[in-house]
Amino acid sequence: MNQPPRLLTLHPQDNVAIALGDIAPGETQGAPRLLQPVGQGHKVATAPIRAGENVLRYGQIIGQARADIAVGEHVHVHNLGMGEHSRDYAHASENAPLAPSSEDRSFMGYHRADGRVGTRNYIGILTSVNCSGSVARFIAEAAETSGLLDGHDNIDGIVPITHGTGCGMSGENEGYATLFRTLSGYAQHPNFGGILLIGLGCEVMQISDLVGGRPIRADGTLRYMTIQHEGGTRRTIEKGLDELRGIATLANKARRAPASVAHLTVGMQCGGSDGYSGITANPALGMASDLLVRHGGTTILSETSEIYGAEHLLTRRAASVEVGEKLIDRIRWWEDYTARNHGEMDNNPSPGNKRGGLTTILEKSLGAVAKSGSAPLTDVYLFGEKIDKRGFVFMDSPGFDPCSVTGQIASGANLIVFTTGRGSVSGYMPTPCIKIATNSDMYRRMSEDMDINCGDIVSDGVGLDDKGREIFEMLIRTASGERTRSETLGFGGVEFVPWQIGAVM
398 makes contact with Ca ion (CB under 5 A): no
Sheet hosting strand 7-8, strand order edge to edge: 7-8, 16-19, 43-45, 74-75
Q: 170 is in the binding site of which of a copy of itself, Ca ion, none (Cβ under 5 to 8 A by kind)?
A: a copy of itself
Taking CB under 8 A as the criterion, the residue among 49, 169, 254, 452 binding a copy of itself is 169
Look up residue 91 and give its amino acid.
H
Pairing of strands 80-81, 60-65: antiparallel
CB of 353 to Ca ion, least distance (A): 13
Q: Cα(467)–Cα(452) distance, rounded to whole angstroms? A: 9
Q: Which is nearer to Ca ion, 131 or 159 (CB)?
A: 131
Residues 372, 274 contacting (CB under 8 angstroms): no
Residues facing 329 on adjacent strands: none
Interface with Ca ion, residue 271, by CB under 5 A: yes
- Cβ–Cβ under 8 Å, residues 124 and 186: yes
> Of 369, 391, 385, which is closest to residue 304 (Cα–Cα)?
369
CA 333 to chain centroid = 20
443 vs 450: CA distance, rounded Å: 7
Return d(Cα 183, Cα 167) in angstroms, integer. Answer: 14
The entry of Ca ion, a copy of itself, none near residue 475 (CB within 5 to 8 angstroms by kind) is: none
- Whichever of 53 and 441 has its CB closer to a copy of itself, that residue is 441
Report 180-199 residues binding a copy of itself (CB under 8 A).
Answer: none
CB of 387 to Ca ion, least distance (A): 8
Q: Please report, as residue ranges, which positions from 472 to 491 form the binding site for a copy of itself (by CB under 8 A).
A: 489-491
Q: Which of 445, 460, 473, 482 touches a copy of itself by CB under 8 A? A: 445
Q: Which is nearer to a copy of itself, 29 or 488 (CB)?
A: 488
SS3 state of residue 407 = helix
Within 425-444, the residues that bind a copy of itself by CB under 8 A are 425-427
Least Å from the CB of residue 401 to Ca ion: 4
Task: Write b or e for each residue in 8-37: b if 16 or more Cβ atoms lie within 10 A of its Cβ, otherwise e.
Answer: bebeeebbbbbbbeebeeebbeeebebeee
Name the minimum Å distance from CB 269 to a copy of itself. 12
Which one among 39, 154, 337, 386 touches a copy of itself, defined by CB under 8 A?
337
**215 contacts which partner out of Ca ion, a copy of itself, none, CB within 5 to 8 A by kind?**
none
Does 108 interact with a copy of itself (rule: CB under 8 A)?
no
As measured in angstroms, the least distance from the Cβ of 438 to Ca ion is 12
Q: Contact letters (x/-) for a copy of itself, 292-331, by CB under 8 A? A: -------------x--------------------------
> CB within 8 A of 63, min separation 6: which ones?
54, 55, 80, 81, 82, 83, 359, 360, 362, 363
How many residues sit close enough to Ca ion to count as binding (CB under 5 A)? 4
Residue of 17, 16, 20 lying closest to 40 (CA atoms): 20
Q: Which of 311, 363, 401, 470 binds Ca ion (CB under 5 A)?
A: 401
User: Distance between CA 149 and CA 155 in Å, rounded?
Assistant: 8
Q: Contacting Ca ion (CB under 5 A), which of 297, 399, 427, 468?
A: 399
Under DSSP, the state recorded for 289 is H
**Rounded Cα distance, 355 and 334, in Å:** 28
C-alpha 500/C-alpha 67 separation (Å) is 47
Rule CB under 8 A: say whether 135 interacts with a copy of itself: yes
Q: Which one of the spans 107-115, 322-330, 456-464, 495-503 is the region binding a copy of itself (CB under 8 A)? A: 495-503
Q: How far is CA 99 from CA 102, 232, 284, 319, 320, in A?
A: 9, 58, 19, 15, 19
Q: Given candidates 31, 70, 113, 202, which one binds a copy of itself under the rule CB under 8 A?
A: 202
CA distance 124 to 133: 12
One residue of 29, 93, 249, 447 binding a copy of itself per CB under 8 A? 447
If the CB atoms of residues 265 and 404 are measured against a copy of itself, the closer one turns out to be 404
Q: What is the distance between the alpha carbons of residues 498 and 29, in angstroms, rounded to a whole number? A: 50
How far apart are CB 347 and a copy of itself at their closest, in Å?
10
For the stretch 385-388, contacts whose Cβ atoms lie closer than 8 Å and that sit 24 or more positions apart, written own/partner, are: 385/181, 385/185, 385/411, 386/181, 386/185, 386/188, 386/411, 386/412, 387/265, 387/298, 387/300, 387/411, 387/412
Site string for a copy of itself, 395-424 (x = CB under 8 A): ---xxxxxx------------------xxx
Q: Are 365 and 308 in contact (CB under 8 A)?
A: yes
Examine residue 266 and tell whether it contacts a copy of itself (CB under 8 A).
Answer: no
The answer for residues whose C-beta is within 8 angstroms of residue 253's C-beta and 6 or more apart is: 154
Report in angstroms how near the CB of residue 127 gets to a copy of itself at its nearest.
9
Among 153, 218, 341, 352, binds a copy of itself (CB under 8 A): 341
Q: Interaction with a copy of itself in 212-251: which residues (CB under 8 A)?
A: 227-228, 231-234
163 near a copy of itself, judged by CB under 8 A:
yes
333 binds a copy of itself (CB under 8 A): no
Q: Of how many residues is the chain composed?
A: 505
Q: Is 101 in the site for a copy of itself (CB under 8 A)?
A: no
Q: Any contact of residue 131 with a copy of itself (CB under 8 A)?
A: yes
Residues forming contacts to a copy of itself in the complex (CB under 8 A) are: 130-131, 133-135, 137-138, 162-165, 167-170, 173, 200-202, 227-228, 231-234, 271-272, 305, 337-338, 340-343, 398-403, 422-427, 445-449, 489-495, 497-505
Residues forming contacts to Ca ion in the complex (CB under 5 A) are: 271, 273, 399, 401
